[in-house]
Structure 1
Amino acid sequence: MADSRAERAKLHQGQLDLGSAPASITESSRDASKASAEGRVVRVLPDVAAIDRTFDYVVPETWKKDGRAERLAVGSRVRIVLQGRRVGGWVVEDRVEPPEGVALRPLAHLSGIGPSAELIDLARWAAHRWAGPVAGFLTTASPPTMVDALPPTSSSKTALLPSAWSLNDKRYDEAVTPDPAGRPAVVRLPPGADPVPLVLAAARRGDALVLVPTTERAERIARRLRRAGVTVSSMPRDWAQAATGGVVVGSRAAAWAPVGDLRSVVVLDEHDESYREERSPTWNARDVVVERARRAGAACVLVSPVPSLEALIAAGVEPTDRRIVAPSRSEERAGWPVVDIVDRRLDDPVRSGLFSPAIVDMLRGEFGDPVVCVLNRKGRSKLLACESCGELARCDRHGSILVLEQARTSEQTASPGVGGLDEWMRCPVDDDRRPVVCDACGTTRFRNLRAGVNRVREELEALAGRSVIDVTADTPITDLAGPDTPALFVGTEAVLHRLERRVAHVIFLEFDQELLALRQRAAQQALALLARAARLLGS
């Protein structure tokens, strides 16, 4: 038994033999060990979720003859034999000294080019920072398809921009200048301001990486930069071209994009939550590029109308030492729309509902169209109160708020629009049903105090006297831009992201629920919603 354990200790982990090795395997292992002593050995990280360690492999002699050995480098994607099956992996170290007495297997296949050595080191840092596997970050940093070779470097230089795009704002030049201490600069750009001049200022200094919250907006900025004569690579489609230089534009995953000679990084709307990965590990693209720029000695610019606390701290711990670039007071006010606050503290919450008399004429289009209403509540109803006495509908046994439910009967199906709606109230604790009757006064009429967007759409149509579209995250953008599209929209905050045209008014029907939400960043997220709404209105 001791001999078997000793034999297994000398075998590569990819070996399947659990007992004494047959003579043929033992001899081949000795030959492989002898070859590894004289050959080139690389360290490979397998692309296997359950394995977060590296293994040594020898470069086959045949690769030296056909040129594959010359193309093999740190970051190359390869195929290896591990535990009896072929899996992918990345070369993370080259020309290493393997442990003595270990029989190495040869590399099985050279798949293509992968992340650079700098990105591999950054992936190790991110894995420690967010407690995740290194392979997960390297997958994000790798091209979506196999790349055998990089295209030739473009002869055009991003620093040679047309004179029409020349910049005279010294504040932008100051922001894109690298900080000796490696701190990023925070640019407080109002939502109505154009960020492209700042991106062009970064492009003047050389290869740049630009992060944008959404792919749609990234494509729009990329098109504008191309019209300005800048060499632009859109991620992830242009992964190979991005590695040759120019300006790289993309969303969250572009934080791991290859850049020829990184000189500057620009993060637009750094406060946006889309920069954070939803799956574990929940890494943030903003934090990744801040560290990446610091390691490369490049300038890092965090742009936002409402800078996050993390961005301000990264720019300098002491407020007096922070690298903050802000426009003048008049410029910043011009970049924000007028915000009217409707004080409803004296309104009757039961009888007035969601729609204040101050916004009725606006909903009817008398002050311009389109009009967007925002309510971050899905469904139909969340809170019912008696229209007569104002008593809340509660469960007798549990005291929980009852939920109104509806079901269409066969009569309703046979005669659309004529009665036939069967309604009841349900306890969310035990699903017990009860009639729609007030326990206090016996009336059968209730008011919906917390209506969802589906119910609000019906009430809006009755109040405004025109068609209303309810917008969710699943609503196609094509349904919102046609010539016959109604001019009144209602939805969750998704409506602020789905609409791609200017609007006349944005109405937050219940902004208190954003400010008073039981979330750590409720106030910051509420202000970010205002900034997003301001973009729909324009400056």
Structure 2
Amino acid sequence: MTHQLAVLVHTPVHSAVAGTLSYVSELPLTVGSLVRVPLGQRELLGVVWDAPLDSPAASFDPQKLRPISSALDGIAPLSASWRQLVTFAAHYYQRSVGEVALAALPPQLRDLSTQQWGRRLKRHAKAGAVGEPALVDASELVALSPEQTGAIAQFNTNSGPFLLFGATGSGKTEVYLQCVEQLLVREPDAQAMVMVPEINLTPQLEARFMARFAPMYGDGAVVSMHSGMTPAQRLKSWLAAHSGAARIVLGTRMAIFASLPKLKLIIVDEEHDPSYKSGEGARYSARDLAVYRGRLDGAKVMLGSATPSLESWHHSRPAAEGGRYLRLVMPSRIGSITALPTAQGDTTRLVNDAAAASAGLPVVRRVDMNHQPKHCVFSPPLLAAIMERIARGEQSMVFLNRRGYAPVLHCADCDWKSECPHCSAYRVFHKIDRTLRCHHCGYAERVPRACPACGNPDIAPMGRGTERLEEHLAELLLEVRRPNSVSDQWPEGEPVRIVRIDADSTKLKGELQAQLARVHSGEVDVLVGTQMIAKGHDFRRITLVAAINPDNALFSSDFRAPERLFSLLMQAAGRAGRDADISGQSEMWVQTFHPQHPLFEALKRHDYPAFAAEQLKEREQAGMPPFSFQALVRAEARTQEVAQGFLSAASAAATRMAQADQLLAHLTLYPAVPMSIQRVANVERAQMLIESPSRAALQRFLAAWQVVLHATRKQPEGRGLLRWAIDVDPLAI
């Protein structure tokens, strides 16, 4: 007897075989089982799926259907809630279900043979046993602040979702640890997921969770999931989570699709971070899917941040005003005595610099660069402050969100600039290896000896990146010597030690951890870096943070730029004064040509509620998210005319279609325009924005428009088109 199965394989939404395919099996297989199936000349991994209600498979002759190749024995079927999460994500973000489902599984599942599977599962079974919770010495228990205790109490007595709004250094991570610990004690087989935005933040978090939970549940109780792991490591973590052996899963955005059959708690740390939004394939938001998954699995969801996204902040307004999240507030740093602004609804209390200092947060000092020496990089007051920190044996951090030596190499005679021949962008000058490198397509070449256009040998860098900043700072501090150190490991009288941390200096495996270890040990006096160092790290010795030239985002065409800048500066400021013994001395210096800008006024007071209220007011007046919903359709072709022509033709066809079905009543389709960087790797890029005050109306339109987009590509307007994609809820326009 044969059994007919509906199987999902990795196929794109526009292919002729999108959706489930029909196969036969000699054995009945549960929905959610992993199988290998033939497709054409290949053998692919597939998932037995729920048969669609309108499936014509029942009319097929079973003799004409191909049998599955094999089933992956020893792996429990994927749960109904996991399948529902994948289905929702695929439909909402306009991708095929098979593409999302198979991309969520470890790549090595596709490669291992049956014999290899047997050996792998045997090793996994030996390592997967979880012991009984061990007793913890009461002397090792962490003393919680009243704010932490209150937040945990509200979390335990309400259903959520929750937004934990806590100042940097207020102890949000300890709240996460306490909530996870209480869950595991209360429910013996429960699982928890804790997400971080970037891979480089995972080791620090993993160390804290391992120190807390490994003595109680064993080393295998905590696993990580991120793209920086090897395929074997990812498979091992996935199997541990899927089997229930792993009680806690730590990971980046990809972890939201991990199979955790007993999931009861989801924590999204730094929930405002744009890294939670995928930039390729299914362009999903892991933060938003976390809230949806919590509802599917009956799990509590906590979003945490010192600078929440404006969407989450808006959703956490009082329930009487339509809020859907419960806001938990921890406005004070650990050991502080004075609270910061604690807006709940429309109530906001401001504090001055003295109050901020007593609360443990750094005093914000704005330097008006209009009154400083012309072309100076470090203003004299800032340089003096850095020297003062060095003299006291403390550390400083200089933040500039631009890597490389200089963004452009320039000829003053003929105005030549180091443009990339393959992109509509400039190649960045990297002095260390004397290269001009495009950060978009990767094209690099040696720096020319003379201007390629006019032969002038005097070509010079324009602007500054972290490389040039590090070099310039070393020149300014050349005569400064380190004081007598608290530790004999670093003797006095040595030159000042400056370390740069960015994507270029941490390319080699383990280099980031080594550099961070030097900072934590006190070996480094000044840390220079990009946003890699501005968030998430617990630097205990840093008491001064300086932001160099943050003005670029103040007048950007992107309506989200002020939100991102304020968040980044607040997060950077939070790296200073995290040690309670010296927190009263900490400072945040901002060098700007616009010191009276409202953004810097709010930053000076550490007043996120006031900044958010002003931004939300502007967005409501302009009809921007979260008061409207958006989708971008991006097209790529060899010429800009083809890319824009495809979008314009699809828009015209959509207008005719929508008018017949009255789908355009609540939608606005904007004209096709080039993207801000319109050419990357010799591919021209265009985009078109669709906006609606109704999420449901936008989704109905996008679902119906898929057919139009596929049909348009087959028309003359679509010839030469390379690819197109829909980005729902885009973060960059």
TM-score by length of 2: 0.54
Q: Which residue of 2 aligns with 1:453?
A: 466
Unaligned 5+ runs, structure 1? 1-34, 64-68, 386-391, 409-420, 438-445
Specify whether residues 517 and 353 from structure 1 end up closer, same or farther in structure 2 by C-alpha distance, changes over 3 A only. farther
AA matched with 1:504: T
Deviation at 1:94, TM superposition (A): 7.2
Corresponding position: 1:131 with 2:156: no
Distance 1:122 1:403 in 2: 41
Specify whether residues 126 and 405 from structure 1 end up closer, same or farther in structure 2 by C-alpha distance, changes over 3 A only. closer
Q: Which residue of 1 aligns with 2:529?
A: 491
Tell me if the contact between 1:199 and 1:210 (Cα under 8 Å) persists in the aligned partners: no
Distance 2:465 2:331 in 1: 41
Please identify which structure carries the higher helix content. Answer: 2
Distance 2:498 2:142 in 1: 42
Corresponding position: 1:191 with 2:216: no
Corresponding position: 1:375 with 2:400: yes
Deviation at 1:58, TM superposition (A): 1.8
Instruction: Figure out how many residues of one structure are paired with residues of the other and give that number.
Output: 456
Specify whether residues 230 and 191 from structure 1 end up closer, same or farther in structure 2 by C-alpha distance, changes over 3 A only. farther
TM-score by length of 1: 0.72
Could you report, residue by residue, the CA deviation over 1:385-413 in whole angstroms, capped at 9, with x for unpaired residues? 9xxxxxx9585799x999998999xxxxx
Distance 1:270 1:336 in 2: 23
Could you report, residue by residue, the CA deviation over 1:365-384 in whole angstroms, capped at 9, with x for unpaired residues? 23543322112233334589
Q: Which residue of 1 aligns with 2:517?
A: 481
Distance 1:268 1:404 in 2: 33
Distance 2:399 2:564 in 1: 14
SS at match of 1:225: helix
Q: Which residue of 2 aligns with 1:56?
A: 22
Distance 1:326 1:432 in 2: 61
Specify whether residues 481 and 516 from structure 1 end up closer, same or farther in structure 2 by C-alpha distance, changes over 3 A only. farther
Distance 2:408 2:98 in 1: 47
Identity %: 23
SS at match of 1:536: coil
Q: Which residue of 2 aligns with 1:212?
A: 196
Distance 1:75 1:82 in 2: 19
Specify whether residues 484 and 504 from structure 1 end up closer, same or farther in structure 2 by C-alpha distance, changes over 3 A only. closer
Deviation at 1:462, TM superposition (A): 1.3
Specify whether residues 223 and 272 from structure 1 end up closer, same or farther in structure 2 by C-alpha distance, changes over 3 A only. same
Q: Which residue of 1 aligns with 2:670?
A: none
Could you report, residue by residue, the CA deviation over 1:459-480 in whole angstroms, capped at 9, with x for unpaired residues? 2111111453333213222245
Q: Which residue of 1 aligns with 2:613?
A: none
Distance 1:120 1:402 in 2: 44
Deviation at 1:106, TM superposition (A): 1.8
Could you report, residue by residue, the CA deviation over 1:157-211 in whole angstroms, capped at 9, with x for unpaired residues? 69x98763697824323225553xxx52111022212222334224424422221
AA matched with 1:100: S
Q: Which residue, 88, 99, 108 being the options, matches 2:58?
A: 99
Distance 2:103 2:143 in 1: 35
Corresponding position: 1:523 with 2:562: yes
Q: Which residue of 1 aligns with 2:31?
A: 74
Q: Which residue of 2 aligns with 1:443?
A: none
Unaligned 5+ runs, structure 2? 110-116, 226-235, 333-337, 341-355, 420-424, 433-446, 479-495, 580-733
Specify whether residues 76 and 218 from structure 1 end up closer, same or farther in structure 2 by C-alpha distance, changes over 3 A only. farther
Q: Which residue of 2 aligns with 1:5?
A: none
AA matched with 2:178: L
Deviation at 1:89, TM superposition (A): 0.8
Aligned pairs for 1:296-315 (under 5 A) are 296-315=297-316
Could you report, residue by residue, the CA deviation over 1:36-62 in whole angstroms, capped at 9, with x for unpaired residues? xxx3222101134454211122222xx
Corresponding position: 1:256 with 2:257: yes
Q: Which residue of 2 aligns with 1:233?
A: 222
Deviation at 1:108, TM superposition (A): 0.9
AA matched with 1:200: Q
SS at match of 1:343: strand
Tell me if the contact between 1:255 and 1:285 (Cα under 8 Å) persists in the aligned partners: yes
Distance 2:402 2:571 in 1: 18
Distance 2:396 2:179 in 1: 36
Q: Which residue of 2 aligns with 1:327?
A: 330
Aligned pairs for 1:252-401 (under 5 A) are 252-315=253-316, 321=323, 322-327=325-330, 330-332=338-340, 337-348=361-372, 351-364=374-387, 365-381=390-406
